[in-house]
Amino acid sequence: MTANTESIVQAPAPQLVEHPRGAEPGKPGDRSAFRFEQTTRLPDSPNGKGKGGARYGRTGILHTPHGDIKTPAFVPVATQGAMKAVLPESMTQLGAQCLLSNAFHLYERPGEDVLDEAGGLAKFMNWNGPTFTDSGGFQVLSLGAGFKKTLAMDVKGMKSDDVIAEGKERMAFVDEDGVTFKSPLNGSLHRFSAEISMNIQHKLGADIMFAFDELTTLMNTRRYQENSVERTYRWAQRCVAEHERLTQSRLGKPYQALYGVVQGANYEDLRRHAASQIASLDFDGVGIGGAMEKRIIGDICAWICDEMPESRPRHVLGIAAVDDIFACVENGGDTFDCVAPARCGRNGAIFTRDGRYNIKRAQYKHDFGPLEEGCQCYTCTHYTRAYVDHLLRAHEMNGFTLATIHNEYFFVHLLDDIRASIDGGYFDEFRDETLARFYANGSRG
């Protein structure tokens, strides 16, 4: 082999974790393989939103069977066991610590039995690290009411328990036992319940999974929100029982952590009540879920943390706006997931420290600089704005790849920098400077 040939051979990818922590043949998964270790907490403040001025923001380490996650952390969404247009190796290289996949979509195809036979989600998609799966509860909103996957909302107008997004058909129907879905693939009917969701997620084999919950919209009435919180609690009780049964019966598998999900929309009393209910059950962590208005997103996190043991990690579901992330981190969020960075990238929206812009504007056709000056992601160190603009306009898959790599790098490293600011004692200054710079030109997101 010549020297020139050797110089272009890439280093081998890291080997997959073949023997996860806490997995022994013939034994249930060892629960001690999952735990949260808190490192630094933000000091309380007169302006703190928690009880007594508490600020629940912190850094820590989430220990899982397939590896550790330094928190706070951003969790990119590999919906169907894949980041659209980006290989798992590229996600590792850009700094992602973990990935989240969608239980409902993997149930539809290829089916949970395929992933179970393959050795679980991480092994199936050749991902060398921790994984999350959601419960399918999100489909209550996205299929039931037809809204986009945006949970931090600004909502005005009448309350309605039969609200449907314009031009959409209701495809999910809730009853006491669970939810009946109409498949977005072929229109066939499917059934999810607490027990079904737990069985699917156990076979998918993620390190962290979520209890089956009902996600309401902000336009549901107060009475419906009250009933939904109680129904979600009853489902949570059933999830815990089924999770324990499956953990004991599926021998030789690593322990899978189960997070309960707190609902309650914008109502402080409902959020606190729901948090107390979830805290009373034997969950490993908590998911802060539901549609919520941006103006009180930090308050909602603080209300929930007031009622929750600090030993339990907290995951904020479906949030990726820069200001929302800072508000949620300050008030207790440990991990975050959202499809927005990848979806926005595929449509030409590029996130930078100086705001979000559309790469497909005419001004970038002859711009041979990087997507963001100073960015060290693979895209910015190898390609130009003009090239990415061309690829996206030509509908070339490489354009999706390059835009997604940059946007995911932006959010992964934003959380890395937030984590460093908490450990370093300069979170407030970093928050204020970052938000002032990002929104200086009225940028969205």
Hey, which residues are catalytic here?
Answer: 134, 337
Q: Is 45 annotated as a binding residue?
A: no
Rg (the chain; Cα; Å)? 22
Q: Is 193 annotated as a binding residue?
A: no
* Residues in Cβ contact with 182 at an 8 Å cutoff, skipping those fewer than 6 apart: 143, 171, 172, 188, 189, 190
Indicate the DSSP class of residue 353. T
Q: Is 97 annotated as a binding residue?
A: no
Return d(Cα 32, Cα 301) in angstroms, integer: 27
Buried b / exposed e across 203-240, counting CB within 10 Å, b at 16+?
Answer: bbbbbbbbbbbbbbbbbbeeebbbbbbebbbebbbbbb
Q: In what order do the strands lie in the sheet with 285-288?
A: 73-76, 335-338, 314-317, 285-288, 257-262, 208-210, 131-134, 99-102
Q: Is 377 annotated as a binding residue?
A: yes
Q: Is 363 annotated as a binding residue?
A: no
Through-space distance between the first and last CA atoms of the chain, rounded to whole angstroms: 49
Return d(Cα 144, Cα 157) in angstroms, integer: 19
Q: Is 290 annotated as a binding residue?
A: yes
* Residues in Cβ contact with 191 at an 8 Å cutoff, skipping those fewer than 6 apart: 178, 179, 180, 181
Q: Is 410 annotated as a binding residue?
A: no
Q: Is 134 annotated as a binding residue?
A: yes
CA distances from 25 to 31, 244, 389 (A): 15, 18, 52
Return d(Cα 27, Cα 40) in angstroms, integer: 35
Asked whether the beta carbons of 86 and 404 are under 8 A apart, the reply is yes
Work out whether strand 73-76 and strand 99-102 pair parallel, antiparallel, or are unpaired.
unpaired
Cβ neighbours around 78 below 10 Å, total? 25
Q: Which residues are annotated as a binding site?
A: 134-138, 213, 263, 290, 375, 377, 380, 406
- The annotation places the binding site for substrate at 134-138, 213, 263, 290
- The binding site for Zn(2+) consists of 375, 377, 380, 406
